[in-house]
Homo-oligomer: A and B are copies of this chain.
Amino acid sequence: MSTVWLEMPIRRADSTGPKRRDPAATREKLLTAARREFADSGLAGARVDEIAARAGVNKQLVYHYFGDKDALYLAVLEWVYEEIRAQERKLNLEGLPPQQAIKRLIEASFDHLAAHPDFIVLLNDENRGGARHVRGSRKLEAMHSPLVSMVSTILSEGVRAGVFRKGINAVHLYISIAGLSYFYFSNTPTLSAIFGKDLSSPTARRARRKHVVDLVMQSLRP
């Protein structure tokens, strides 16, 4: 009874009608549901109905909060990019010795994809469509990664310190680091089917992580 007394007034406080109104929460539920649906089914395959159902809210609210399906997709893209940037900001590579810095970068890239496998699949449609949404987004425009210039600095330092060979392009190294993990995560199903061997097990994943770190680190030797 006390629970009832404690909770009911709170609930009623911001809701006179039968349905609680919580715009921020509704928006977030929609965004989360959309992220899952887009990851599961792609942009074309995703269903607005399904997103609303997953969020447990009325379909019309998709249009109320986001405008249309495309804009919702963009909102999801912005969200996952922001996640990446947040993770990058937490890396604190500046003070580290070059080799440690690169190693940490590789591991962080791998771990981020491991933790957010939907990032890959969300980007696929965007790439097929020529990055239509990304290019049209002011938010994403302002979200340029600081990592490339950071990698550039680290490489220079490493060369100066005699631990890295010369002539490595920072942009391409960054792409390589991303690609070595990305491809593994994105293509595990077909690779597993073709090789007839499960590449998604924890053991296989640990082996892959080590392989990627080794490959890049060894390739940087002078």
Q: Enumerate chain B residues within 8 angstroms of A168, measured Cβ to Cβ.
A: 211
Q: Enumerate chain B residues within 8 angstroms of A130, measured Cβ to Cβ.
A: 189
Beyond A121-B127, A134-B193, 9 additional contacts (C-beta under 8 Å) are A41-B44, A42-B45, A42-B128, A121-B128, A124-B186, A144-B194, A144-B195, A144-B196, A171-B197
Which 3 A-B pairs have CB atoms at the shortest separation, nearest pair first? Answer: A179-B183, A44-B45, A219-B219
Verify B131–A190 contact, CB threshold 8 A: yes
Verify A192–B131 contact, CB threshold 8 A: yes
A154 to B183, alpha carbons, bound, how many Å?
23
How many copies of this kind of chain does the complex include?
Answer: 4
Minimum distance in angstroms from A180 CB to a CB of chain B: 5
Q: Enumerate chain B residues within 8 angstroms of A186, measured Cβ to Cβ.
A: 124, 127
Q: Enumerate chain B residues within 8 angstroms of A190, measured Cβ to Cβ.
A: 123, 126-127, 131, 134
A195-214: CB near B (< 8 Å → 1, else 0) gives 11100000000011001101
Chain A contact residues (Cβ within 8 angstroms of B): what range? 35 or more
Minimum distance in angstroms from A203 CB to a CB of chain B: 12
The answer, among B131, B183, B193, B211, for a CB contact under 8 Å with A182, is: B183
Q: List 29 interface pairs A-B (beta carbons < 8 Å), by A numbering.
A: A41-B44, A41-B128, A42-B45, A44-B45, A121-B127, A121-B128, A124-B124, A124-B125, A124-B128, A126-B189, A126-B190, A127-B189, A129-B189, A130-B189, A131-B193, A134-B189, A144-B196, A172-B207, A173-B211, A175-B187, A176-B212, A179-B180, A179-B184, A179-B187, A182-B187, A215-B216, A215-B219, A216-B219, A221-B221
Closest to A215 in B: B219
Among A140, A165, A169, A171: residue with most chain B CB under 10 A: A171
A159 at the interface (CB under 8 A from B): no
Q: Enumerate chain B residues within 8 angstroms of A165, measured Cβ to Cβ.
A: 218
Q: Enumerate chain B residues within 8 angstroms of A127, measured Cβ to Cβ.
A: 121, 186-190
Q: Enumerate chain B residues within 8 angstroms of A218, measured Cβ to Cβ.
A: 165, 218-221
A175 to B180, alpha carbons, bound, how many Å?
8
Q: Enumerate chain B residues within 8 angstroms of A135, measured Cβ to Cβ.
A: 193
